[in-house]
Amino acid sequence: MCVSALLVYFLIRIEDADRKEKAALIPTELPYTWVGNISKTPITEPSGVTYHPERRTLFVVDDEGHIHEIRPDGTVIQTKALQALDLEGITTHPITGWLYAAVEDDETILEIDPQTLTIHREFKINRTFEGKPLLKKGGMGIEAITFVPDATHPEGGTFWIGNQSFSRKPGGEPSVICEVSVPLLTSNATEAEGTIIRYIEMNLLDISGLAYNAKADSLVLISDTTNLLVELKRDGTHLQRYLLPGDDQEGITLDGLGYMYIAQENGQIIKLADRRLR
């Protein structure tokens, strides 16, 4: 009888978990209050945005290789061109304050000084994981990046990157987010390699932005083509999908104060008060 009772209990738990996971895949309305476009000077094709907690500013990158520092009200502080590189995402290391930008096609992470906007180091990402090519040479490339701090990790944390894909056909370019370990602390070399240590295959296309929600210890992912915001645990468990306002969403960041910023390809930086975070 005890064995039967335990079996029934575990079956119910499994069915309940399955129902929750399926429910998480059904998009719902994002609970937000619209603040509006903060851009005072439009940025040509912004592709990524990050909030810097120490400087209390936003850093935005664009497809033409510029990096911009702006205040939360949209006032431009500084702008610099970075070698005409195709910058597709940017994130902040919340402990050191360094910026890290993702370069499409090169599959490279650039370490950038937030004060001078100069490149300090470069990390080339190995394209494969256990022999499987995840970042295909000549493909759409990495489109999103975020840093997750971890005091127990030898490098102080890891990066998550999103590989853009517009097809889920077998043998095609995978739509994945990858956890990447980079020798931030164990190497002083100006050029080093980043290694994919695991990945999560996504069942949606066009991953265009990533952010880390420190309060929930979750990843926040946006898809431009489907206008979706997806929140998931770092083990791949889907928590929720939300319908995303706006169009051509290319980057996302959270400021830890209850606000979300979305970089749109049309040059606007949209600010939302996310009621889930307040």
Structural domain boundaries in the chain: 29-274
pLDDT band at residue 168 using 50, 70 and 90 as cut-offs: low
What is the rounded distance in angstroms from the CA atom of residue 40 to the CA atom of residue 267?
10
What is the rounded distance in angstroms from the CA atom of residue 120 to the CA atom of residue 139?
27
Within 10 A of 8 (CB to CB), how many other CB atoms are there? 10
Give the per-residue pLDDT at 22.
56
Backbone angles phi, psi at 157, to 5 degrees: 145, 180
Cα 207 to Cα 10, 36, 40: the distances in Å are 35, 23, 27
pLDDT tens digit string along 119-161? 999 999 999 999 888 888 766 679 999 999 999 999 999 999 9
Give the per-residue pLDDT at 25.
73
pLDDT tens digit string along 69-89? 999 999 999 999 998 788 999
- Domain 29-274, what fold? Neuraminidase (2.120.10)
The sign of the torsion formed by the CA atoms of 126, 131, 137, 141 equals: negative
Give the per-residue pLDDT at 31.
92
pLDDT tens digit string along 178-205? 999 999 999 999 999 999 999 999 988 8
Task: Give the side-chain half-sphere CA count within 13 A for 116.
Answer: 5
What is the rounded distance in angstroms from the CA atom of residue 99 to the CA atom of residue 113?
6
pTM: 0.90
Average pLDDT of the chain, as a whole number: 89
- Closest alpha carbon to 249 in 143, 173, 102, 176: 143
